Amino acid sequence: MDTKLLSPHEIERWTPPSLRYIVGCSEIKEHFADMLRVDGYGPNTLFTGGTGTGKTAGVRAYLRTLMCPNRNPSTLDVCGQCQSCEQFDGRYSHAGLYAEFSSRVSAAGLPIHYIVLNCSCITKQEWKHFVGEIGAWNDLTVVYIDNFHRLQERGLMDKALHLMEDPKTVWIATAPSADMLSHEVLERFSVVLSTSLASSEEFVAFLQERCSEWGLNPHDGESLVLLGEHSKLNPRAAIHFLVVVAGKRVRAFDGTDVEDYFGHEKKGESE
């Protein structure tokens, strides 16, 4: 594995480039892999789970893989060099309405559009624009809606329910819990999956790979075990700690560093 000394900012912004880089969430990875093998087609799917547990990371890896025309059919790894990969990495956003990609052609020779919406911050004008645009396309369209429950809270769900009946549009949504959505909304999703934690061994292996890849030096294996325990096997929480390590002159840490960091974090939350 190539080692690159990523800056703290680069590590903080890191997301799994393909499905195999996601730790845990075995059902979600399997579901997306099945969709990718039929070039993106699949049922409307809702993913639920807490912050940092892999919902958004899974969807982003799926979308990036879907848009790469040179993806490996066996491993589903992206090439990282084509125009689609470069555009995806440079333009992907969670802020409001995201301009769709419309140039990707599927293995079956069909154009694919996709749109990313964050319901926490999309404006009513952006939502109106989206509703008007989506009905004009005759090709496969993948709509990813983050924080889908916010759409319901903001009184914008009625139009979404109607749009979700279109058979040529695949809807992928995330929310902290299915309980935050009405029964009428949940009926529009054929598949509802929750994020799942990795085993301790899998999580430590994930940390070893990231440290090796980013040029970070754990003192020993026990340091990584402690990082898994203190982060509660939450990838985002563990990466936040590695961001701090990357900012040190000596990019190394031991168990004491882990305990000090999470002890400080816990103290800050209680104050």
Regarding whether 222 and 151 lie in a shared domain, the answer is no
Beta bridge partners, 118, equal 146
Regarding whether 132 and 39 lie in a shared domain, the answer is yes
Q: CB neighbours of 130 closer than 8 A, spacing ≥ 6?
A: 97, 115, 117, 122
User: Which whole-number Å values give the CA distances from 184 to 16, 171, 180, 192, in the listed order?
Assistant: 33, 15, 12, 14
Regarding whether 179 and 48 lie in a shared domain, the answer is yes
Q: Is residue 1 included in any domain, yes or no?
A: no
Q: Which amino acid is residue 158, in one-letter code?
A: D
Regarding whether 160 and 216 lie in a shared domain, the answer is no
Residue indicated by tokens 């419309």:
102
Q: Is residue 3 included in any domain, yes or no?
A: no
Boundary of a domain, candidates 194, 221, 244: 194
The encoded tokens of residue 154 equal 């903001």
Q: CB neighbours of 182 closer than 8 A, spacing ≥ 6?
A: 152, 157
Regarding whether 121 and 211 lie in a shared domain, the answer is no
Q: CB neighbours of 228 closer than 8 A, spacing ≥ 6?
A: 200, 203, 204, 207, 238
Regarding whether 233 and 144 lie in a shared domain, the answer is no
Per-residue pLDDT at 83: 77
Q: What is the pTM of this model?
A: 0.81
Regarding whether 252 and 136 lie in a shared domain, the answer is no
The encoded tokens of residue 88 equal 């995806």
Regarding whether 239 and 120 lie in a shared domain, the answer is no
By DSSP bridging, strand 111-118 and strand 101-105 are antiparallel
User: Which domain CATH number covers 68?
Assistant: 3.40.50.300
Q: Is residue 108 included in any domain, yes or no?
A: yes
CB burial string 7-30: b at 16+ within 10 A, e below: eeeebeebebbbbebbbbbeebbe
Regarding whether 131 and 216 lie in a shared domain, the answer is no
Instruction: Render each residue's pLDDT in the chain as its tens digit; 271 residues.
Output: 555 688 999 999 888 888 999 999 999 999 999 988 887 778 999 999 988 888 888 888 888 888 788 888 888 888 888 877 777 655 444 433 444 444 455 545 567 777 888 888 888 888 888 887 776 666 678 888 888 999 888 888 888 888 888 888 889 999 999 999 999 999 999 999 999 999 999 999 999 999 999 999 999 999 999 999 999 999 999 999 999 999 998 999 999 999 999 987 665 555 4
Regarding whether 15 and 102 lie in a shared domain, the answer is yes
Boundary of a domain, candidates 194, 209, 243: 194
Regarding whether 220 and 125 lie in a shared domain, the answer is no
40: left (phi over 0), alpha (psi -120 to 50) or beta: left
Per-residue pLDDT at 79: 85
Regarding whether 69 and 148 lie in a shared domain, the answer is yes
Residue 24: which domain range? 8-194
* H, E, C per residue of the chain: CCCCCCCHHHHHCCCCCCHHHCCCCHHHHHHHHHHHHCCCCCCCEEEECCCCCCHHHHHHHHHHHHHCCCCCCCCCCCCCCCHHHHHHHHHCCCCCECCCEEEEECCCCCEEEEEEEECCCCCHHHHHHHHHHHCCCCCEEEEEEECHHHHHHCCCHHHHHHHCCCCCEEEEEEECCHHHCCHHHHCCCCEEEECCCCCHHHHHHHHHHHHHHHCCEECCHHHHHHHHHHCCCCHHHHHHHHHHHHCCCCCEECHHHHHHHHHHHHHHHHC
Q: Is residue 2 included in any domain, yes or no?
A: no
Q: Is residue 232 included in any domain, yes or no?
A: yes
Distance CA 90, CA 178 (A): 32
Boundary of a domain, candidates 142, 168, 194: 194
Q: Is residue 83 included in any domain, yes or no?
A: yes
What's the domain count of the chain? 2
